[in-house]
């Protein structure tokens, strides 16, 4: 919960206080250890979560255009915009 919310120190303190008050929750000593660990490793944990959530592919190129239909059987469909997007994906580092 702490890592996924990327809690700042105020949020961390409130969260850990709530956890110590819950029945079957953590002790105040455990909360202190967790707080110290989070303060020391927050940046590394956050970067690790970001790296794990990235795709292996990266966007290499993108082309797009908007077409307007000028001839159709039904008059209400004329000038209806249609977006066409072409994306080229590649492996990271290649």
Where do the structural domains in the chain lie, given as residue ranges?
A: 9-53, 57-91
pLDDT of residue 60: 86
Please tell me the pTM assigned to this model. Answer: 0.56
Distance CA 53, CA 78 (A): 42
pLDDT of residue 85: 94
Instruction: Name the region of 24 (left: φ>0; alpha: ψ -120 to 50; beta: rest).
Output: left
The ranges of the chain with pLDDT < 70 are 72, 74, 76-78, 93-94
pLDDT of residue 94: 63
Query: Within a 10 A sphere around the Cβ of 32, how many other Cβ atoms?
Result: 13
pLDDT of residue 20: 94
């Amino acid at each position: 919960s702490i890592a996924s919310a990327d809690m700042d120190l105020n949020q961390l303190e409130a969260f850990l206080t709530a956890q110590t008050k819950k029945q079957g929750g953590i002790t105040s000593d455990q909360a202190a250890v967790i707080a110290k660990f989070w303060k020391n490793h927050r940046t590394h944990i956050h970067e690790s979560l970001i790296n794990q959530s990235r795709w292996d592919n990266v966007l290499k190129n993108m082309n797009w255009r908007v077409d307007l239909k000028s001839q159709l059987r039904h008059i209400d469909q004329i000038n209806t915009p249609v977006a066409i997007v072409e994306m080229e994906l590649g492996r990271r580092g290649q």
